[in-house]
A and B are shown apart, each in its own frame.
Chain A
Amino acid sequence: MDFLRPASWEEALAAKAEHPTAVPIAGGTDVMVEINFDHRRPEYLLDLNRIGDLTEWEVGGESVRLGASVPYTAIMESLRTELPGLALASHTVASPQIRNRGGVGGNLGTASPAGDAHPALLAAGAEVEAESVRGSRMIPIDAFYTGVKRNALAPDELIRAVHIRKADGPQQYSKVGTRNAMVIAVCAFGLALHPESRTVRTGIGSAAPTPVRAEAAEDFLNAALEEGGFWESGKIITPSVAKQFAELASGACNPIDDVRGTARYRRHAVGIMARRTLGWTWEQYRGTARTLEGAA
C-alpha cells in the first residue's frame, strides 16, 4: 500500500490520473473501517486532508458551493439557512466525532444507498463538481448514482465540490434507525418545497439500490398543489392528497430485506416519513406565507 499526500488540488488530480485505482481518503469514516476490518487493501491511499479549499464553502446567489470535505458539523452549524435539509441530514450522521471528520464528498464517493446526505441533495437539487486532469464537469445529482455503491465518476476523477441549490422554501429530513443516535439508516426521506418554481422535490435513502427521488409522488403532488391553488392560498393540504403522496413515495421504493429491516417495513416507513415531512414543511410554508401576508 502506498500513501499519497498531495499538497494541492492539482497534485491530487495528477496522482489520481497516474493511479486511477487510488482510493481517496478525507474524513476516513468509510475507508478506514474497511481497512481496519480487512475488507479492502487499496494499492494507493490518496489523502485529501492537506487540500484546504476542500473544507471551504461559498454561498452564491443561486447555490452553495460546498467543498467535498466540509465536515457535517460545519454544515449543521453554519448552513442551516441555506441548506436546511442537508443540515438536518448532517445532524443524523453517525456521532459527533464522525460529523467532525466526514463530509458530503465521502458520501458521494462511497455512493452507499444508506448515505445520509443523498436524500437531502436529491430533494434540494444539486450538481457534483467532478474534476480530473482532463478537465472539470458538473454531474447532475439525478444522474450521479448509477448502482449499488457505484457512481458516475470516471476512474481518474475526484469530487471537488457539490453545488447545492439554496433553499427557496422549507426543507425537512427524516431517517429511521433502530437506535436514537449513532445509527445507519434503515431508510430515510428528504423533502424540499420550492415555492419559486412551485414544485416539491424528494429523496429516498436506503430503500432502493441507489438513492432515488419519488418522482411519481412529486408529479402527483405538484399537480395537486397547482390545481388546488395551495401555493397561493397556503391552505392546509387535504389529508387525501397527503395520503396519496405518501403511498406514491412508498411505491418509489425498491428495498431489500436485510439485518437492519425488512423491505415491507422500509416501504411503510418511507410513506410515514413522506407524509410527516410534507406536513412539517407545509406548516412552515404556511407560517411564512401568513407572515408575508401580514407584513404586506
Chain B
Amino acid sequence: MTQHTRVASTPAGTPTDVTQGSRTRGGIGESTLRPDGTLKVTGEFAYSSDMWHEDMLWGQILRSTVAHAEIVSIDTSEALAQAGVYAVLTYEDLPTEVRNYGLEIQDTPVLANGVVRHHGEPVALVAADHPETARRAAAKIKVEYRELPVVTDEASAVAEDAPLLHPGRDDHHVGHVPHPNIVHRQPIVRGDADAAAARADVVVSGEYTFGMQDQAFLGPESGLAVPAEDGGVDLYVATQWLHSDLRQIAPVLGLPEEKVRMTLSGVGGAFGGREDLSMQIHACLLALRTGKPVKIVYNRFESFFGHVHRHPAKLWYEHGATRDGKLTHMRCRIVLDGGAYASASPAVVGNASSLSVGPYVVDDVDIEAIALYTNNPPCGAMRGFGAVQACFAYEAQMDKLAAALDMDPVALRQLNAMEQGTLLPTGQPVDSPAPVAELLRRVKSRPLPPERQWETTEGADVRALPGGLSNTTHGEGVVRGVGYAVGIKNVGFSEGFDDYSTAKVRMEVVGGEPVATVHTAMAEVGQGGITVHAQIARTELGVTQVTINPADTQVGSAGSTSASRQTYVTGGAVRNSCELVRDKVLEIGRRRFGSYHPAWATAELLLEGGKVVTDGGEVLADLAEVLQDEVVEVEAEWRHRPTEAFDLRTGQGNGHVQYSFAAHRAVVEVDTELGLVKVIELACAQDVGKALNPLSVIGQIQGGTTQGLGVAVMEEIIVDPKTAKVRNPSFTDYLIPTILDTPTIPVDVLELADEHAPYGLRGIGEAPTLSSTPAVLAAIRNATGLELNRTPVRPEHLTGT
C-alpha cells in the first residue's frame, strides 16, 4: 500500500502549475505542444476522479426511479443505521432557505422537494467509508412515490389538463410565453414572408426530428470536497465555468463565496455537459455535514442522469425559391424539448431562432422557436446548441429544394450564400468575412476517395465495409453516396450577456531569466486553451518561459468554456493583461534606462526574445536588467463588443458578436439491404480567422466533425414516450463512434481575419459539429433515395422495417 506516503493536508491530485518553457519562440501561429501533454501520457495528470484525501468518505446519490411523482415519504433510518455510514441527507436537511440552483433560472432543486420531475432526479445523499457501503445504504432508503401523469412532448405540455412542471413561475420569461410549460419563446419576423412566398416558383417543406444526443465525455462527473477550518469548503472539481458554479453553490451552502474555494481538477472532456452543476453541491453538503473530505464519482450509468443532454427537436421548415434558385422566403417552427429544468434552454432558443435560416441570404422570414418544460431528461448545453438542430433541418431543406429545382445542391447553396454585409433575420449585419461559398467550393473540389476500397487480393477487407468486423457484407448491397452541408454558429455569449474574462499576468526574473505567469479561471477541458495562453504570453511579452497557474476562484471569472469563446475571450483577456504588463515593464525600463537612449521615449517598443527592442529591431535592454527584482503583475477584465437582446416580438437586434462557418462533404457507403452505413470520408473546410495553434485547430475540427457523425448514424438517448424513462443509459446501448466508424477527415483551414477579434481569430470548436450531421444524412439520402427526416438514422429507417 502506498496510500500513507501521500500528504494528508493537500489532497492527492491537487493541480500544480504547468510550466511551458521554450527553445524556439513558441508564439501564436505555431503548433506548440500541450503543456499538460507529458502528465497526460504518463497517467500523472490528476482528473477530478483521481483526487484522494486521507480519511475521505464516498458520496452516493439516490435518484428517482420514476419520471414524475409526488414523494409521499422518505425513510432514511435503515440507511443511517448501516455501519460505515456517516450521513444521509434529504431536502429536509438542506442548511438554508436557498434550495434551488440553475444557470439562468433557479428552478432546479438541490434534492427533490416533495416531487420528482424526471427519471434520475437526486432525492437523497449518503456518505460512507467505501463506495459499496454508500451504495448499499442508498439502496436501503425507502422512498414512496405517487406517480403523476407525464408531460413528454408539445401536445402533452400545452394540453388543457397538462400538469404544470413549475407552477408559480416567476422567471423573466414567464411573461412572454404562451403557456407555463414553455420555458422561452423567440419569434423572428422580418420582411413579409407571405408576400415573398407568392413570388416563389417552387416551395418545399418538411418536418424534421433531431434525437437527444449525449455529450458522452469520457471522464465521469466527479470531485472532492474538503471541509476547511474556517467553516468553508475547498472543492476540487471538473467543470466548464468555476465562477458560475460558485455563484450557484455558495448560496445553497449558506456560505459567502469567499468561503467556497474552487480549484479546477483535470477535466475529462465537457462539450457542454459540465456547464450545469452535477455533484458539486452534494459533495460540499456531505463534507460540511460530516466534517470529512467527501469524494463523489459517478459511474457511466449515473453520468447519463447527471448532466443535461442536447435538446431533441422537432423542426418544421418551408423554403421557397424562384426558378433560377434564389430563395424567396423561409418559414420555420422549432420546438426544443428542454426537459424538466430550464438549464440553458433560453439561450438554445435564441440560437435556434436567430440562426434558423443558416448561412444564407433570405430577406423574408417568419420564425418561431420554443423550448418546452417536460418530464423528459433535462436538456441544455452541448456543442453548437440550437444551431446544430437548425442546421440539420435547413440543410435537408436545401437539398430538397435543389431536387425540386433540378439544380446542383452545392450550386444552390452558393447562389444563396451569405457574405460579409449580409443581414441576418435579426437585422444584424454580418460584419466580418463570411466565406460560405468558398468553403463549399473547397470541399467540393477535393478528389473523391477511390471506389471499392475494401477489395484486396485476399478478398474483401470487412473492416472497410459497412458492418465492419461484424462481417455482414463483402460488397453486396453496398451503394456509395455523397452529400454536402454548411452551417453558421455564433461565437461567444449573445443577446446582451456581459461576456468577459479575467486574466492575471505576472512577469519577473527567475534564475536570471524573465518568466511570465498566467493565471485565469478558464476551464481547460481538453481544448488546449492553456497551450494558447502560453503562446500569447510569449508573443506579447517576448519570454520563452511561461507558467500557467491552475485555474481557481482566486482570480476573476473567465466565463464558460463553451460557445467557442475561450480563445477569443480569455485569450483576449490574456493578451490584454500582457499588454498592460508590457506597458508597466516599459515604464520601469524608461525609469531605469530612459536617459541612456532616446528610443525609450520616442520609438514603438516591443518585448522580444527576452529583450526590449525598438520596432526597428534595435535592442535596448535585457528584460532581466529592466526588471531586476521587481515583479510586475496585472489582473484585468476584458470583454468583447457588447451585444443586445432580441426583441421579444420581432426578434430584431444585434444579438451576436461573431460567427463561425464550416462546410462538410460526406462520402458514405450504405449497405442498402441491411441499412448499415460506413462513412468513408468526411472532408471539412472551415474559416478560423487566425489559427493560433494549427495542430489544435485541426484537432478541434476533427473532433467536432466526429460528434456530428455520431448523431447522424448512432447516437441517441432513447426515452420511453409512455414513462419518460431513459432506456439506454450505458455505453452498451448509447453508442459513440469507434475508430472503425470514423473516416479520414481531411481539413482545409481558411484564415480570413475578423478585424474585431484578437489576432483576427474566430472561435472554432462548434462549427464543425453543425454541418457534419446534415452532410452525412445528405450522403445517405444520395445513396438510398430515401427522404430521411430524422437523425440519427437507424437501420430500420433505411430498410423500411
| A54-82 interface with B by 8 A CB criterion | none
Interface string of B771-801 (1 = CB under 8 A from A): 0000000000000000000000011100101
B723 to chain A, nearest CB (A): 14
A257 to B735, CA, bound (A): 18
Task: For the complex, give the distance between the alpha carbons of A92 and B740 in Å.
Answer: 13
Pair A180/B738 contact, Cβ less than 8 Å: yes
Residues of A within 8 A of B730 (CB): 37
Convert A28-59 into 0s and 1s, putting 1 for each residue whose CB lies closer than 8 angstroms to a CB of B: 00000000111000000000000000000000
Q: Is A231 an interface residue (CB 8 A)?
A: no
Q: Answer whether A181 and B795 are a contact pair too, CB < 8 Å, given A259-B733, A272-B674, A280-B474.
A: no
Please tell me if B121 contacts chain A, counting CB pairs below 8 Å.
Answer: no
Which of A173, A176, A262, A276 has a CB less than 8 Å from the CB of B676? A176
Q: Are B466 and A180 in contact (CB under 8 A)?
A: yes
In contact, B741 and A269 (Cβ under 8 angstroms): no
Task: Give, as a whole number of angstroms, the nearest-CB distance from A195 to chain B.
Answer: 21
B737 / chain A contacts, CB cutoff of 8 Å: 179
**Is A160's CB within 8 Å of the partner chain B?**
no
Whether the pair A92, B470 counts as a contact (CB closer than 8 A) is yes
Q: Is B38 engaged at the interface, CB distance under 8 Å to the other chain?
A: no
How many angstroms from the CA of A186 to the CA of B796 in the assembled complex? 11
Q: Are A178 and B801 in contact (CB under 8 A)?
A: no
Distance of B255 from chain A, by nearest CB (Å): 33
Asked if A183 contacts B470 (CB within 8 A), the reply is yes
Contact residues, B735-749 vs A (CB, 8 A): 735, 737-741
The reply to whether A176 and B674 contact each other, CB–CB distance below 8 Å, is: yes
B470 contacts which chain A residues (CB < 8 A)? 92, 174-177, 180, 183
B735 CB contact (under 8 Å) in A172, A175, A183: A183
Determine whether the beta carbon of A91 is less than 8 Å from that of B299: no
Tell me what chain B mostly uses at the interface: helix, strand, loop, or mixed.
loop
Closest to A116 in B: B470
Residues of the B chain whose Cβ atoms lie less than 8 Å from the Cβ of A273: 472, 674
Indicate if A264 sits at the interface (CB-CB under 8 A).
yes
Q: Would A178 and B714 count as touching, CB distance under 8 A?
A: yes
The closest CB in chain A to the CB of B459 belongs to A280
Q: A260 on the interface (CB 8 Å rule)?
A: yes
In Å, the complex CA distance between A130 and B675 comes to 40
In the bound complex, how far is the Cα of B477 from the Cα of A265, in angstroms? 16
A37 to B476, CA, bound (A): 40
Residues of B within 8 A of A265 (CB): 675, 795-796, 799, 801
In the assembled complex, which residues on chain A have CB atoms less than 8 Å from the CB atom of B728? 259
Q: Which of A174, A178, A268 has most B Cβ within 10 Å?
A: A178
B476 touches A269 (CB 8 A): no
Residues of B within 8 A of A175 (CB): 470-472
The complex places the Cα of A264 from the Cα of B801 at a distance, in Å, of 5
Within 8 A of A (CB), among B459-493: 463, 466-474, 476-477
Pair B727/A262 contact, Cβ less than 8 Å: no
* Contact with A181, one of B139, B468, B474, B796 (Cβ below 8 angstroms): B468
Option from A174, A182, A260 in Cβ contact (under 8 Å) with B733: A260
Q: What distance in Å separates the Cβ of A35 from its nearest Cβ neighbour in chain B?
A: 10
Q: Does B587 sit within 8 A of A, measured CB to CB? A: no
CB distance from B521 to the nearest CB of A (A): 35
CB 8 Å contact bits of A94-138 with B (1 = contact, 0 = none):
000000000000000000000000000000000000000000000
Asked if B457 is at the interface of the complex by the 8 Å CB criterion, the answer is no
Partner of A262, one of B472, B741, B796: B796
Whether B718 contacts A176 by the Cβ 8 Å rule is: no
- Once bound together, how far apart are the Cα atoms of A260 and B737, in whole Å? 16
Q: Cβ of A234 < 8 Å from any Cβ of B?
A: no
**Across the interface, which residues of A come within 8 angstroms of B463, CB to CB?**
180
Please give me the residue from chain B that is nearest to A35 by CB atom: B132
Chain A: CB-nearest residue to B730: A37
Give every chain A residue within 8 A of B740 (Cβ-Cβ).
180-181
Query: A181–B470 Cα gap in the complex (Å)?
Result: 7
Contacts of B583 in A (CB 8 A): none
Min CB distance B151 to A, Å, is 22
User: Is B732 close to A, CB under 8 A?
Assistant: yes
**A 187-206 binary contact with B (CB < 8 Å = 1; else 0):** 00000000000000000000
Chain B: minimal CB distance from A45 (Å):
14
Query: Are A91 and B674 CB-contacts (below 8 A) given A37-B301, A265-B799?
Result: no
Whether A88 lies near B471 (C-beta < 8 A) is yes
Q: How far is the CA of A269 from the CA of B796 in the complex (A)?
A: 10
Whether B135 sits at the interface, judged by CB under 8 Å, is yes
Distance A204 CA – B740 CA, assembled complex (angstroms): 25
Chain A contact residues: over half helix, strand or loop, or mixed? mixed
Other-chain contact of A176, B135, B299, B472, B476 (Cβ < 8 Å): B472
Query: How many Å from the CB of A220 to the closest CB on chain B?
Result: 21
Is the pair A178, B795 in contact by a Cβ cutoff of 8 Å?
Answer: yes
A100–chain B nearest beta-carbon distance, Å: 15
Residues of B within 8 Å of A267, CB to CB, are 801
Known: A178-B795, A180-B678, A262-B796. A276 touches B473 (CB 8 A): yes
Check B44 for interface membership: any CB of A closer than 8 A.
no
Residues of A near B477 (CB, < 8 A) are: 272
Which residues of chain A come closer than 8 Å to B675, judged between CB atoms? 265, 269
Closest chain-B Cβ to A113's Cβ sits at a distance in Å of: 15
A residues in contact with B801, CB < 8 Å: 262, 264-265, 267-268
| Residues of the B chain whose Cβ atoms lie less than 8 Å from the Cβ of A15 | none
Interface residues of B in 546-593 (CB under 8 A from A): none
Residue of A whose beta carbon sits closest to that of B726: A259
Q: Is B738 within 8 A of A261, CB to CB?
A: no
Check B795–A37 contact: CB distance below 8 A. no
A68 CA to B597 CA in the complex, in Å? 86
Closest B residue, CB atoms, query A178: B714
Cα(A108)–Cα(B33), bound, Å:
49
Q: Which partner residue on chain B sits nearest A273 by CB separation?
A: B472
Measured between alpha carbons, how far is A280 from B135 in the docked complex, in Å?
51
- CB-based nearest B residue for A267: B801
Question: Is B673 at the interface (CB under 8 A from chain A)?
Answer: yes
A91-B714 contact in complex given A36-B299, A180-B740, A265-B799, C-beta closer than 8 Å:
no
Task: Name which residue of chain A comes closest to B797, CB basis.
Answer: A265
Residue A217 lies at the interface, judged by CB distance under 8 Å to chain B: no
* B467 and A276 form a contact (CB under 8 A): no
Chain B 425-462 interface mask (CB, 8 Å, partner A; 1/0): 00000000000000000000000000000000000000
- Complex Cα distance, B795 from A264, in Å, reads 11
Kindly provide the distance from the CB of A274 to the nearest chain B CB, expressed in whole angstroms.
12
Report A-chain residues with C-beta under 8 Å of the C-beta of B674. 176, 269, 272-273
B558 CB, nearest partner CB in chain A, Å: 36
Distance, CA A36 to CA B735, complexed state (A): 19
Contacts of A177 in B (CB 8 A): 467, 470
Contact B795 A261 (CB under 8 A): yes
Most buried by B among A184, A261, A268, A279: A268
| CB within 8 Å of B: which A247-278 residues | 259-262, 264-265, 267-269, 272-273, 276
B740 to chain A minimum Cβ distance, whole angstroms, is 4
- Considering only CB atoms, which chain A residue lies closest to B731 in the complex? A182
- Nearest-Cβ distance from residue B677 to partner chain A, whole angstroms: 9
Q: How far is B462's CA from A175's CA once the two chains are assembled, in angstroms? A: 12
Q: Which of B139, B474, B732, B795 contacts A269 (CB 8 A)?
A: B795
Contact A180:B467 (CB < 8 A) given known A259-B728, A262-B801, A272-B674: yes
B276 to chain A, nearest CB (A): 24
Which of B727, B730, B794 gathers the greatest number of chain A CB atoms within 10 Å?
Answer: B794
- Can you list 9 A-B contacts with CB-CB less than 8 angstroms, sorted by A residue number? A91-B471, A174-B472, A181-B469, A182-B738, A183-B470, A184-B732, A259-B727, A268-B801, A273-B472
Residues of chain A whose beta carbon lies under 8 Å from any beta carbon of chain B? 36-38, 88, 91-92, 172-184, 186, 259-262, 264-265, 267-269, 272-273, 276, 279-280
The 6 A-B residue pairs whose C-beta atoms are closest, nearest first, are A180-B468, A265-B801, A181-B740, A264-B801, A175-B470, A180-B740
Q: A265-B796, A272-B674 are in contact. List 18 more A-B contacts (CB 8 A).
A: A88-B471, A91-B471, A92-B469, A176-B674, A177-B470, A179-B468, A179-B737, A180-B469, A180-B678, A259-B718, A264-B801, A265-B799, A265-B801, A267-B801, A268-B799, A269-B674, A272-B673, A276-B474
